[in-house]
């Protein structure tokens, strides 16, 4: 029931996933609205069922408060189905904050992870680089960098297919003496860890994807993401005018909009699994139509099939003494 | 004697400034190399003189150490001429680090300023936005944000011609509750200051120039600058290919290189005055040829004529109680 086009596009995307990718779907929402949709799509032989609830979180509701009063919200129930083994994963196009709270309440975080981690592959040009934290963890402690690294290494293995991911800390220079206090202490911890730690990387190394896992404080990650998106907007306006003068209006608009999309990180991050919680929950965009919904479902499938949760657990176990030792 | 094209291009640029902009020039360097250059340029009636020294800092020398052994280095002497009133300002295309140390030794910082500030107008798209700190001050204390603000307000008044510059803190959200610890404390101080403080801005507001003076920790500033430059490089490669397909190779190369230049912040920052020191010292690029040298000299002229130092002093005085009170 989440997202701008629920439930129609959600149902369409889910049915497509069942049809084309051999995935069993449980739709969590009001039976009376889902039934006619399923009928109209004629899904009789497909493994698509309905789990009824008439509560859901609307966009704009304060998520924690809404979830406290709606204990049968579709998002919460979907997570519960996953926890109880009736499903392998939960997928939502709803409010990210509400999804995060649902996942926290229902799954909890891994032992060793203090708070859910914000991360993903933000830069089009560096498709094999996951950056964490991208927002939620501000003023994080150096040991949280170890936690981000464990999650990031699992992410790179399971989603990017990288065998022995390199891990680096974002800093203001590559020499060991560089860095702020936080980066320096994290450096010392990472150096002692079993991760494939390559040291510091700098701002320009982000777009070049110089490491598979790049670690930073969520404050820095948030600023970078939004800066990138802001640049996309001003650069594409400039580019539109500039290209129009040599190749005409149509080509200019196409190229400018491509550029904007390449820097619109929100779209790149979207459809990612929540990180650090002990269950698979994939949050897609509110704007998702059926194809994007199906894509989010496939991300969940990949998380399950690649053993993403087990991989995080294993990486965390490898640094448990460092995490406690600090 | 600093920069890749010294002394020839430096002398040419200086002579041009004397010729076209009514500026008296003292060239600090070896008489035997400068004399023939001046003769060949036939500058007889122009106010261009030579202050002899045969010491200078070479690129690649460790600056502090080099300056300690070369007490008559051209950079140091130029700053001394400015301090003693024989010149109004010093200009160099030499090593930035050496220039900073020279300025610190000779001028010192303003009372109330702990360390020199790194700042300038980094983004082509936001020509009325000065960002500080862009590097030197990592892990800075909240009160340093007040110092950056004082310098930034003076900069915006004197170099950008903005009467009542708006001042904002870069953060991870605009609500007052957002920010890391540092930003939150700086927020409280700025709110009490007489500056035209508008609160937090976010990453995307940088390129949009949402405030005239944007404050951040030098760690964040450094990462942003380099990230922008890194993006310039990958985006321009992408763009070259993309535009070539619709408008041919030549147009593609032109537009791609324009894009790269727009994001190459180093070039935008270059030719700026050192900030926070009690004297005007403008550092241009090592790669500067005569026109860029002249431009750097004009920046120095503008600093002097606009009363940049007095303006910083005045802004600092307006927050002296806040700076002490913390």
- Strand partners for A200: A169
Average pLDDT over residues A302-319: 97
- What letter does residue B202 receive in the DSSP assignment? -
Query: For position A88, what pLDDT does the model report?
Result: 98
Give the dihedral of Cα atoms B301, B302, B308, B311; nearest 10 deg. Answer: 140
Across chain B, the runs of DSSP E, i.e. the strands, are 25-29, 48-52, 90-92, 119-120, 130-132, 166-170, 196-201, 213-215, 272-273, 281-283
On the question of pLDDT at A326 being above 60, the answer is no
On the question of pLDDT at B326 being above 80, the answer is no
Residue of B nearest to A231 (CA): B207
Query: For position A60, what pLDDT does the model report?
Result: 82
Residue of A nearest to B217 (CA): A180
Q: Model-level pTM?
A: 0.92
Among A15-29, A194-208, A246-260, name the one with the lowest average pLDDT.
A246-260
Average pLDDT over residues A141-168: 97
Residue of A nearest to B251 (CA): A246
Average pLDDT over residues A231-255: 90
Query: For position A262, what pLDDT does the model report?
Result: 82
Establish if B235 touches chain A: CB-CB under 8 angstroms.
yes
Query: For position B285, what pLDDT does the model report?
Result: 85
Spatial separation of the C-alpha atoms in residues A296 and B29, rounded to whole Å:
67
Query: For position A97, what pLDDT does the model report?
Result: 87
Are A301 and A21 spatial neighbours (Cβ–Cβ below 8 Å)?
yes
Among A63-77, A268-282, B104-118, B260-274, name the one with the lowest average pLDDT.
B260-274
Spatial separation of the C-alpha atoms in residues A84 and A81, rounded to whole Å:
5
Q: By CB neighbour count within 10 A (0-12 exposed, 13-18 middle, 19+ buried), where does A86 fall?
A: exposed
Spatial separation of the C-alpha atoms in residues A278 and A122, rounded to whole Å:
23
On the question of pLDDT at A113 being above 60, the answer is yes
Query: For position B267, what pLDDT does the model report?
Result: 63
Suggest the residue from A123, A141, A219 to mutate for an interface test with chain B (most B CBs closer than 10 A). Answer: A219
How do residues B54-96 score in pLDDT, each as one tens digit? 999 987 889 899 999 999 999 999 999 999 999 999 999 998 8
Query: For position B59, what pLDDT does the model report?
Result: 79
- Measured between beta carbons, the chain B residues lying within 8 angstroms of A200 are none
Check CB contact under 8 Å for A202 and B223.
yes
Check CB contact under 8 Å for B226 and A239.
no
Among A11-20, A186-195, A286-295, name the one with the lowest average pLDDT.
A286-295
Q: Cβ contacts of residue A215 below 8 Å, gap of 6+?
A: A131, A132, A133, A145, A148, A149, A152, A167, A168, A169, A170, A186, A190
Check CB contact under 8 Å for B203 and A223.
yes
Suggest the residue from B118, B207, B238, B248 to mutate for an interface test with chain A (most A CBs closer than 10 A). Answer: B207
Spatial separation of the C-alpha atoms in residues A101 and A96, rounded to whole Å:
9
| pLDDT over 70 percentage in chain A | 98
* Residue, of B221 and B247, whose pLDDT is higher: B221
Average pLDDT over residues A71-82: 97
Q: Cβ contacts of residue A127 below 8 Å, gap of 6+?
A: A121, A160, A209
Closest residue by Cα to residue A153 from A179, A129, A174: A129
Categorize the per-residue pLDDT at B299 as very low, low, confident or very high, splitting at 50, 70 and 90: very high
Suggest the residue from A173, A231, A253 to mutate for an interface test with chain B (most B CBs closer than 10 A). Answer: A231
On the question of pLDDT at A268 being above 80, the answer is no
Angle between helices A142-160 and A308-318 (to 10 degrees): 140
Cβ of B181: how many Cβ atoms within 10 Å?
Answer: 11
How do residues B114-153 score in pLDDT, each as one tens digit? 899 999 998 888 999 999 999 889 999 999 999 999 999 9
- Strand partners for A26: A49
Which of 197-226 (B) contact A at CB < 8 A?
202-208, 216-220, 222-226
**Nearest Cβ partner for B219 among A172, A205, A224:** A172
Sign of CA dihedral A55, A56, A62, A67: positive
Categorize the per-residue pLDDT at A93 as very low, low, confident or very high, splitting at 50, 70 and 90: very high
């Amino acid at each position: 029931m989440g997202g701008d086009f629920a439930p129609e596009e959600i149902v369409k995307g889910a049915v497509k996933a069942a049809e084309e990718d051999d995935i069993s779907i449980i739709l969590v929402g009001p039976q009376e609205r889902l039934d006619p949709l399923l009928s109209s799509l004629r899904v009789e032989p497909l493994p698509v069922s309905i789990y009824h609830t008439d509560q859901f979180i609307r966009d704009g509701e304060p998520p924690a408060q809404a979830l406290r009063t709606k204990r049968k919200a579709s998002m919460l129930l979907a997570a519960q189905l996953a926890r109880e083994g009736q499903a392998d994963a939960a997928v939502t196009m709803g409010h990210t904050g509400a999804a995060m709270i649902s996942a926290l309440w229902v799954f909890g975080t891994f032992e060793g992870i203090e708070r859910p981690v914000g991360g993903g592959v933000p830069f089009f040009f560096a498709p094999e680089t996951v950056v964490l934290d991208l927002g939620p963890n501000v003023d994080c402690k150096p040991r949280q960098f170890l936690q981000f690294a464990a999650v990031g290494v699992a992410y790179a293995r399971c989603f990017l297919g990288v065998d022995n991911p390199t891990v680096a800390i974002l800093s203001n220079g590559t020499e060991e003496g560089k860095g702020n206090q936080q980066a320096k202490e994290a450096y010392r911890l990472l150096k002692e860890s079993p991760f494939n730690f390559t040291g510091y990387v700098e701002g320009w190394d982000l777009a070049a994807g110089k490491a598979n896992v790049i670690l930073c404080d969520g404050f820095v990650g948030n600023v970078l993401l939004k800066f990138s998106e802001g640049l996309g907007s001003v650069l594409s306006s400039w580019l539109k005018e500039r290209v129009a003068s040599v190749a005409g209006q149509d080509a200019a608009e196409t190229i400018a909009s491509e550029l904007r999309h390449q820097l619109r990180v929100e779209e790149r991050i979207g459809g990612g699994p929540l990180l650090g919680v002990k269950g698979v929950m994939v949050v897609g965009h509110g704007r998702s139509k059926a194809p994007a919904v199906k894509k989010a479902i496939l991300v969940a499938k990949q998380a399950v099939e690649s053993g993403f949760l087990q991989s995080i657990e294993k990486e965390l176990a490898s640094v448990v003494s460092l995490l406690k030792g600090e």
